[in-house]
Amino acid sequence: MRLIIFILTISTVTLISSTNLNISNSCNCSELFNQDCLSVQSNCDWNSQTKQCQEIECSKIELSNHCVQSSKRCYWLNKQCNDFISCETIPGKSQQECIDANIYCPASNGINCLAIEYQQKCEKIKDPETCNDYYSPDGKCMWNGINCIILQSCTQLWSNKTKSCLQRGCYFDQLSYSCLDMKCSKHQLEFECQFGVPTIGPYLNNIIPCKWDSINRVCQNGKPDEYTIDQCYSHTARTYHWSSSIFNKGQCIACYGYILSIIIIIGLSITIII
């Protein structure tokens, strides 16, 4: 009994304090109120008759990154956004081609794309070519000369054997002459800061949220639940939304975690009562 409470508490806490944004948990149009729905980043449209936020048709999505991230609804191919049927129906010779079509199809059999379950673990990969740019479920892979290993930090890329720093999520630091993990403070413009920074961490769970400090004019780590109505949806890779339709009310809440937290909290209360 105490153990159950302990586990539930720990899982709620980790859920709330998780630092990376999990793109798999991006908001559905139906969860968005007017303001977020009309954001340039959403693939949604506000229906003023029904007062509901709805998905826009894939064929009307013009930006590839909007199309590619639109859950399993659309995919990008031949410079247009198409209706998604299955990962297998999308042609793609490599993991990268498949990710560029739909992020939920990050695997390939050499001919067409495959669903996320087919994404391989680094240690299963035997050739350096496939290994070096591969995105495993747990993060980026790297060939260390003998095995395919998971990249724990960008510094590993700039070793005596391999000297590279081309990985998304890493940057080359001239001062220390090494390859380092990206951080919010690397963004020098307010506009860039909103997108957060990519990391080499788990696939689709690899964006650190950032926030612009307008007094000191620097980009720093952000906490989504402290974001304002204008930052909430746009600065969280669409994984948080504003909780109210009334301008001066509400707060920034996670679209997925919030629901899960409530379930856990209800579970916790029931456990305590019993």
Ligand X SMILES: *[C@@H]1O[C@H](CO)[C@@H](O)[C@H](O)[C@H]1NC(C)=O
Site residues, ligand X (CB under 6 A): 22, 24-25, 28, 31, 159-160, 202, 205, 255-256
Output the smallest distance, CB 111 to ligand X, in A: 27
Which of 11, 96 has the CB closer to ligand X?
11
Output the smallest distance, CB 259 to ligand X, in A: 6
Q: Are 158 and 144 in contact (CB under 8 A)?
A: no
Which of 25, 119 has the CB closer to ligand X?
25
Which of 193, 204 has the CB closer to ligand X?
204
Which of 92, 201 has the CB closer to ligand X?
201
Output the smallest distance, CB 178 to ligand X, in A: 12
Which of 202, 250 has the CB closer to ligand X?
202
Output the smallest distance, CB 218 to ligand X, in A: 28
Output the smallest distance, CB 137 to ligand X, in A: 8
